[in-house]
């Protein structure tokens, strides 16, 4: 975010610190016959119209490397919450080569950042065209403060980032599925040392707006704290110079299998396709797959935080998540925290905890941990993240996100306490202790489905056992109403 903000300050005329690019203001393509299209955009804004000419901007790179384009995108008349109004699609090309698509799911401005792939030193032209797959209500897309940068520190991560081809359901499906459902939103990478000195493993992950298959929505909310789909996509070993080590590329295939990548590369970018309803990958690209996504994967996730933190720093992803649930009829009306069905997402407390599990002392299933909330006005009632469903407790160790559905209108000020509950996930109990060490954040969504500022945090060490399976983690410091 810091590099994006710094780049934006240079607008369309300046050179970037550490990445000298000269940007020329957007113009119409050579197909334009009048100056009216060029005048339709305010200074610093590119407008791409349905049926209109392509728009272009140029930049000059002083060196070879991976380029990234950032802007704030909006599409008047579009809403991810409404059928036939889901999104507008803009195809983005560099020097005549189709690099990535931009799917704009909102009439409100959203900050976006996309890869442009490798460029050589010299002048380059970025072309933006209103594309097929756009909803009938989409008439234009506005891109404010477009900026191209070549971040020096993130070049290796950008260089190996996967191209994700859109899901088509070929041969009978909609080739533009991802313009209406399970949209790839954001990406990041993690880097760890490899066995060979000086080498490292880079793993790329992405967030989709939902998953049409796989874990159902109530279980997602309980076990993962969201209804988006977050998956690792591709992993590769690179040497000390950032070169790909031959034969080390793997990807997450159907049934979550780790498979060797044997597909096509564009430079060092592996080309993969979302080929399952729960957003797993294939390295064989189906015919007639028009959409492709080269998401900016230059950022990383803090090691001590759950994956959902990447959504926290891009708040608009929560709104898109909620809107897809509404449009697909997956929200219970009226919301009722006594049922397992997913209610209005604004009634949930979004929480992240960290825990670890000790050694088992017997035979049986491992314990998970769930969270419970008591309200000041009704302290006898416990609202549970797992809805008392054992398989919905959190079994994995480390940082993990979950949600607790509460009565409509509940705020943090209404909460009396948050407690941890140890619960074996299956038959029997292997006796392993569960130790909770932190609650990293807790927030509700605002009326527009954007996260409020976190108002809940706790650190310590509380161990839950079969004999003492519950404990209070956090008490509201404001006391009773």
pLDDT, tens digit, 9 for 90 and up, residues 293-313: 999 999 999 999 999 999 999
- Let me know if the fold of 2-323 is the same as that of 332-475: no
**3 state SS of 351:** strand
Q: What is the pLDDT of residues 284-294, one digit of tens each?
A: 999 889 999 99
Q: Where does the pLDDT of residue 12 fall: very low under 50, low under 70, confident under 90, or very high at 90 and above?
A: very low
Average pLDDT value for the chain: 91
**3 state SS of 141:** strand
What contacts 290, CB < 8 A, 6 or more positions away? 101, 131, 132, 133, 166, 175, 176
Is residue 10 predicted with pLDDT exceeding 70?
A: no
Is residue 109 predicted with pLDDT exceeding 60?
A: yes
- Give the tokens for residue 2: 């810091």
Do residues 410 and 403 make contact, with C-beta atoms less than 8 angstroms apart? no
Between these two residues, 342 and 10, which has the higher pLDDT value? 342
Do residues 130 and 52 make contact, with C-beta atoms less than 8 angstroms apart? yes
pTM beyond 0.85, yes or no: yes
Homologous superfamily (CATH) of 2-323 is Galactose-binding domain-like (2.60.120.260)
Distance CA 308, CA 10 (A): 31
Q: Where does the pLDDT of residue 39 fall: very low under 50, low under 70, confident under 90, or very high at 90 and above?
A: very low
CATH of domain 332-475: 2.60.60.20
Between these two residues, 417 and 22, which has the higher pLDDT value? 417
Pairing of strands 163-165, 269-274: parallel
What sign does the dihedral 149-234-391-435 (CA atoms) show? negative
- Give the tokens for residue 260: 């060797």
Is residue 21 predicted with pLDDT exceeding 90?
A: no
Q: What is the pLDDT of residues 222-243, one digit of tens each?
A: 999 999 999 999 999 999 999 9
Percent of the chain past pLDDT 90, that is, above it, reads 87
What sign does the dihedral 99-105-106-107 (CA atoms) show? positive
Domain boundaries, the chain: 2-323, 332-475
Please report the pLDDT score of residue 36 as a whole number: 26
């Amino acid at each position: 975010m810091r590099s994006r903000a710094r780049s934006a300050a240079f607008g369309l005329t300046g050179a970037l610190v550490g990445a000298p690019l000269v940007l020329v203001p957007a113009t119409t393509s050579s197909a334009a016959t009048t100056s009216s299209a060029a005048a339709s955009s305010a200074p610093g804004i590119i407008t791409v119209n349905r049926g209109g000419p392509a728009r272009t901007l140029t930049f000059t790179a002083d060196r070879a490397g991976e380029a990234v384009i950032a802007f704030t995108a909006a599409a008047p008349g579009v809403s991810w919450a409404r059928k036939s109004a889901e999104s507008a699609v803009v195809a983005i090309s560099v020097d005549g080569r189709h690099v990535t698509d931009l799917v704009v799911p909102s009439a409100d401005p959203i900050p976006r950042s996309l890869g442009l792939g490798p460029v050589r030193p010299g002048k380059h032209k970025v072309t933006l065209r209103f594309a097929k797959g756009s909803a009938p209500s989409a008439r234009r897309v506005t891109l404010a403060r477009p900026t191209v940068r070549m971040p020096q520190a993130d070049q290796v991560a950008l260089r190996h980032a996967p191209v994700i081809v859109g899901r088509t359901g070929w041969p009978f499906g909609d080739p533009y599925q991802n313009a209406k459902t399970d949209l790839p939103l954001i990406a990041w990478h993690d880097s760890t040392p490899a066995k060979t000195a000086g080498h490292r493993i880079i793993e790329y992950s992405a967030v989709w707006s939902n998953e049409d298959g796989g874990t159902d929505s109530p279980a997602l909310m309980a076990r993962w704290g969201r209804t988006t789909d977050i998956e690792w996509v591709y992993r590769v070993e690179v040497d000390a110079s950032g070169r790909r080590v031959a034969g080390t590329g793997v990807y997450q295939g159907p049934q979550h299998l780790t498979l060797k990548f044997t597909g096509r590369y564009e430079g060092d970018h592996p080309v993969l396709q979302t080929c399952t309803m729960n957003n797993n990958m294939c390295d064989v690209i189906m015919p007639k797959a028009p959409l492709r996504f080269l998401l900016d994967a230059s950022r990383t996730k803090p090691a001590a935080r759950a994956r959902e933190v990447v959504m926290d720093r891009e708040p608009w992803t929560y709104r898109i998540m909620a809107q897809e649930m509404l449009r697909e009829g997956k929200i219970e009306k009226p919301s009722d925290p006594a049922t397992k069905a997913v209610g209005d997402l604004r009634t949930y407390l979004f929480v992240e905890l960290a825990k670890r599990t000790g050694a088992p002392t017997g035979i049986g299933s491992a314990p998970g941990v769930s969270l419970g909330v008591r309200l000041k006005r009704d302290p006898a009632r416990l609202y549970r993240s797992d809805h008392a469903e054992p398989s919905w407790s959190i079994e994995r160790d480390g940082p993990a996100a979950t949600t607790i559905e509460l009565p409509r209108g509940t705020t943090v000020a209404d909460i009396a306490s948050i407690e941890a509950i140890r619960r074996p996930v299956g038959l029997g109990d292997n006796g392993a202790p569960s130790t909770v060490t932190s609650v990293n954040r807790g927030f509700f969504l605002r009326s527009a489905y954007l996260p409020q500022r976190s108002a809940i945090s706790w650190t310590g060490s509380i161990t839950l056992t079969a004999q003492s399976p519950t404990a209070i983690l956090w008490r509201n410091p404001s006391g009773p109403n």
